[in-house]
Amino acid sequence: MENVDKILAVAPMMDLTDRHCRSFHRILTKKAHLYSEMINTGAIIYGDAHRHLDFDKDQHYVVLQLGGSEPEDLAKAAKKGQEWGYDQIDLNCGCPSERVQKGSFGACLMAEPTLVAECVKAMKNTVSIPISVKHRLGLNDMNPEINADYQFTLDFMCSVAQAGASQVTIHARNAVLKGLSPKENRTIPPLRYDMAKRLRVDLQKHFPNVKVLLNGGLDDNQSISNQWDDFDGFMVGRAAYHTPAMLLAWDRMISSQGQEFGYFLNEQTWLDIQKGVIRYSQSWLEQTHQVPSKDFYLAAITRHVLGLAHGLGGSRLWRQRLSDHRIIAPVKTHQQIEEFFVQASGYLRMLSDQGDESGVLQYVD
Ligand SMILES: Cc1cc2nc3c(=O)[nH]c(=O)nc-3n(C[C@H](O)[C@H](O)[C@H](O)COP(=O)(O)O)c2cc1C
């Protein structure tokens, strides 16, 4: 598997990685795998499938993440996902929220490997696109250094691999199902990359073709590069959302085997990205015109872009403009969209393209 390209992915994040967010990220990287928010099977089967599933075709490679625990429902939802053009279906076995636990899915599914295997099989038998599972290192106070606890997680992974999953993503900390909020569950349980690495080695003794991605606490490209040889890919959540410029390096990281991870957000790059965002916003405007019930509101797009100017001189004013309802709401034509972004960029002091030692842009402030 060593010569196969590694996978770099933006994690599924509820209320964040919607279609607009993914289209913005696609402007920054052509190769990253982009995940949807988790969508419950019920919303897809009985709800407004267009609202939940529609996306722009230039967004590939795009993964639909499902929340559910009924094999039949998951199979139906996966089928719709395939019909809609998604490239892969991912099952959420890592979300610790109480609401999700009430529906008996998310992280609590790790305690039910037989059921998860049935879910994976049902989807695998219904669609031809790859199936993957995203899960945690363990549950509650399990300690992966204790054999039985380590074996619990390895058995879970083997079970989903046996059922036909071609990839698993390990969020490398336990999920604590009682007493911690979802947010605390992303910070308090310790990260254990060493255990995730061992799990990959042991899983691939039995299932050499199943890819194992590392997730959790990868805050910059250097952290990814440090782990490069130990995993088949890496999934980044919060850092990718809040400092999206890091995605500018991803295509080069993949082709240089993780060696080149710096990025330069110079004036030309900024203008290229801006052009992409303007084009995308204009195409969304046209799409909303075709559906009378849809209203165009540019903030649905700009809210995902705010992190791009992170660290740049003038970024506070730029961000204020991109989130000021009074300025954004009246933007309703192609020309107004272009003027809006060009004027907002006028608040940024221009950038130096001199990288520092880590290869990250030094901003002129
Ligand atoms: C706002 C938010 C929403 C999230 N929603 C989901 C989700 O829908 N499905 C999922 O599997 N994980 C979800 N996660 C967890 C992330 O996918 C990821 O596993 C976690 O943030 C750890 O990665 P990070 O340290 O790179 O952020 C969410 C995380 C955040 C911050």
| DSSP code per residue over 144-202 | TTSHHHHHHHHHHHHHHHHTT-SEEEEESS-B--SSS-TTGGGTSSPP-HHHHHHHHHH
Residue with the bigger pLDDT between 305 and 313: it is 305
Q: How far apart are CA 210 and CA 161, in angstroms?
A: 7
Q: CA 70 → CA 23, 86, 240, distances in Å?
A: 31, 21, 32
> pLDDT band for position 363 (50/70/90)?
very low
pLDDT given at position 350: 59
65 lines ligand 1 (CB under 6 A): yes
- Residue 352 reports pLDDT greater than 50: no
Residue 171 CA, ligand 1 centroid: distance in Å: 9
Q: How far apart are CA 168 and CA 170, in angstroms?
A: 6
- Residue 140 reports pLDDT greater than 90: no
Q: Which atom of ligand 1 is nearest to the CA of 236?
A: 26
pLDDT given at position 330: 96
Substitution site in 41, 64, 186 for ligand 1 pocket (most atoms within 8 Å of beta carbon): 186
Residue nearest to atom 31 of ligand 1 (CA): 238
Residue 74 CA, ligand 1 centroid: distance in Å: 21
Which residue, among 56, 65, 63, 61, has the nearest Cα to 30 in the 3D structure? Answer: 61
| Dihedral sign of CA atoms 211, 217, 222, 226 in order | negative
Q: How far apart are CA 351 and CA 257, in angstroms?
A: 28
Percent residues over pLDDT 70 in the chain: 95
Residue with the bigger pLDDT between 97 and 221: it is 221
- Find the range with the poorest average confidence among 148-162, 171-185, 329-343: 171-185
The string of pLDDT tens digits covering residues 49-78 is 999 999 999 999 999 999 999 999 999 999
pLDDT given at position 99: 75
Residue 38 CA, ligand 1 centroid: distance in Å: 10
pLDDT given at position 354: 43
Q: Which atom of ligand 1 is nearest to the CA of 37?
A: 8
- Residue 358 reports pLDDT greater than 60: no
Percent residues over pLDDT 90 in the chain: 77
Residue nearest to atom 6 of ligand 1 (CA): 13
Residue 192 CA, ligand 1 centroid: distance in Å: 17
Substitution site in 219, 238, 241, 304 for ligand 1 pocket (most atoms within 8 Å of beta carbon): 238
pTM of the predicted model as reported, rounded to 2 decimal places: 0.94
Q: How far apart are CA 215 and CA 171, in angstroms?
A: 5
106 lines ligand 1 (CB under 6 A): no
Question: Which CATH number among 3.40.50.920, 3.40.50.300, 3.20.20.70, 3.40.50.1970 corresponds to the domain 7-255?
Answer: 3.20.20.70
Structure tokens at 94: 């890592």
Q: How far apart are CA 29 and CA 33, in angstroms?
A: 9
Residue 216 CA, ligand 1 centroid: distance in Å: 9
Q: How far apart are CA 239 and CA 113, in angstroms?
A: 31
* Residue pair 199/157 in contact by the 8 Å Cβ criterion: yes
67 lines ligand 1 (CB under 6 A): no
pLDDT, average across residues 204-213: 98
DSSP-derived letter for residue 12 is: P
- Residue 167 reports pLDDT greater than 70: yes
What stretch of H or E contains 13?
Answer: none
pLDDT given at position 243: 96
Residue nearest to atom 23 of ligand 1 (CA): 216
The string of pLDDT tens digits covering residues 89-106 is 999 998 888 777 777 788
The string of pLDDT tens digits covering residues 5-42 is 999 999 999 999 999 999 999 999 999 999 999 999 99
16 lines ligand 1 (CB under 6 A): yes
Residue nearest to atom 18 of ligand 1 (CA): 237
pLDDT given at position 312: 87
95 counts as catalytic? yes
- Residue 172 reports pLDDT greater than 50: yes
| Dihedral sign of CA atoms 305, 307, 312, 314 in order | positive
Structure tokens at 21: 């967010």
H runs (alpha helix) in the chain: 19-28, 41-46, 49-53, 71-84, 98-102, 113-126, 147-162, 193-206, 221-226, 238-242, 250-255, 267-290, 299-305, 315-322, 325-328, 334-345
134 lines ligand 1 (CB under 6 A): yes
> pLDDT band for position 4 (50/70/90)?
confident
Structural domain boundaries in the chain: 7-255, 267-345
Catalytic choice (93, 95, 108, 158): 95
pLDDT, average across residues 151-170: 97
Go through 200-219 and write b for each residue having 16 or more CB atoms within 10 A of its CB, e for each that does not: bebbbeebeebbbbbbbbbe
The string of pLDDT tens digits covering residues 78-90 is 999 999 999 999 9
Q: What is the mean pLDDT of the chain?
A: 92
